[in-house]
Amino acid sequence: MIIEDLPPCILINSYTSPWLRCYTDSEIDYKSPRFLSFGDLDCDYQPPTHIQETNALTWSAGPNPTSGVISVQTNETVVEMRLFNLTGQCLLSTTLSQEKRIDMSTFPSGLYWLQALDKQRRSLGVIKVILTP
Amino acid sequence: MKKILLPACLLLCCCSIFSQQEWAPIGARWVQNIGIDFDSIPVPNPLLDYYVVECTGDSMVNGLNFRKVGDYLMHQNGGKIYYWYGDSLNLVYDFEVEVGDTVNLNLLSCLGVVVTVPVKVDSVGAIVVSGQTLKRIVTTSIGPAPYWFYPDGIPTLKKLGDLTA
């Protein structure tokens, strides 16, 4: 399978890769180092502000997949864009210029999250972006 | 059926290093993290949600013994772990590998098609958890694209460990 063959379902599937919080059986009680790095939380922890986003996005970006530069179509409410890898690490934070283009060409190919923020730095939603070689 | 994305750049799995241990004893329970809360400002919260996968019992298909793990039937043959899909066994974990080996895993794409994903074994080591010494295998995907899917309901680890650490 090559990247161009990837179906659109990859864009709407689960938020990100799953990773282990805890494992238990009759002999083992285990929390992963990654989960412990957030503190001594219960395995079924959920953030208190957990909100399911239901509103339609007021912006879009394309082409997607892209080979490097992606253009953002939006109204003036979007003032900042942030790019994340699938682990949630922020790779890029930029104020939208008049061109409203984001250059991803310096990053390795793969899947990314693109987030828009308004001037109060509130999230206006995220989309998954495929960066091709 | 939900599919789970695996950016198979780093696979880390563990199993018993000294004995041919069951991969999934009945009652085994994995809690898998899923999702990132991007509305958490200024830093996204990577603990948005979770799901639970449990080993609930035994089954038999075509004369082979299986364990029910989540929505799937899992078969163990030595250190090789398979899931039943498309009327065939598909290798999802291999704990018999040595450093330098290449192993072809059979994972699901989001179209429900089994995709062969070659991974190279970078290291084989051990860790101690709850008094048990467990094998730790680190692999790197050498496939043409880093987009693979694990079948929903199959934990992303053998017994302990984190595939995406």
Angstrom distance (rounded) from CA A34 to CA B131: 20
Q: Are A104 and A129 in contact (CB under 8 A)?
A: yes
Q: Which of A2, A13, A28 to mutate to test the interface with B (most CBs of B within 10 A)?
A: A28
pLDDT confidence band for A21 (50 / 70 / 90):
confident
Phi, psi (rounded to 5 degrees) for B37: -90, 95
Q: How does pLDDT run across B126-145, given as a tens digit for each residue?
A: 777 778 777 777 777 776 54
Q: Which residues, including other chains, have CB under 8 Å from residue A5's CB and lie 6 or more apart?
A: none
Predicted complex ipTM: 0.77
Closest-CA residue of chain A to B134? A28
Angstrom distance (rounded) from CA B111 to CA B72: 17
Angstrom distance (rounded) from CA B73 to CA B82: 8
* Residues facing residue B139 across a β-bridge: B11, B121
Q: Which of B133, B47, B84, B125 is nearest to A20 (CA)?
A: B47
Residue type, position B121, single letter: V
Identify the pLDDT of residue A55: 58
Q: Are B83 and B94 in contact (CB under 8 A)?
A: no
Q: Are A25 and B25 in contact (CB under 8 A)?
A: yes
Q: How does pLDDT run across B37-54, given as a tens digit for each residue?
A: 776 766 777 888 888 989
Question: Lowest-pLDDT range, A45-54, B66-75, B102-111?
Answer: A45-54
Share of residues in chain B with pLDDT > 90 (%): 15
Q: Would the CB atoms of B50 and A44 count as touching at under 8 Å? A: yes
DSSP for A62-82?
A: ESSSBSSEEEEEE-TT--EEE
Q: Which of A11, A12, A17, A122 to mutate to test the interface with B (most CBs of B within 10 A)?
A: A17
Report DSSP state, residue A12.
Answer: H
Compute the average pLDDT of residues B93-106.
86
Q: Which of A59-63, A123-127, B16-20 has the highest mean pLDDT?
A: A59-63
Q: Which of B39, B131, B50 is nearest to A38 (CA)?
A: B50
Angle (nearest 5°) at CA A22 between B30 and B44: 110
Would the pTM count as exceeding 0.95?
Answer: no
Angstrom distance (rounded) from CA B141 to CA B149: 13
Angstrom distance (rounded) from CA A117 to CA A120: 8
Closest CB to A47: pick one of B7, B28, B45. B45
Q: How does pLDDT run across A27-73, given as a tens digit for each residue?
A: 888 888 888 988 999 999 987 754 445 556 778 888 988 888 999 88
Closest CB to A19: pick one of B3, B146, B156. B156
Q: A93 contacts in B (CB within 8 Å)?
A: none
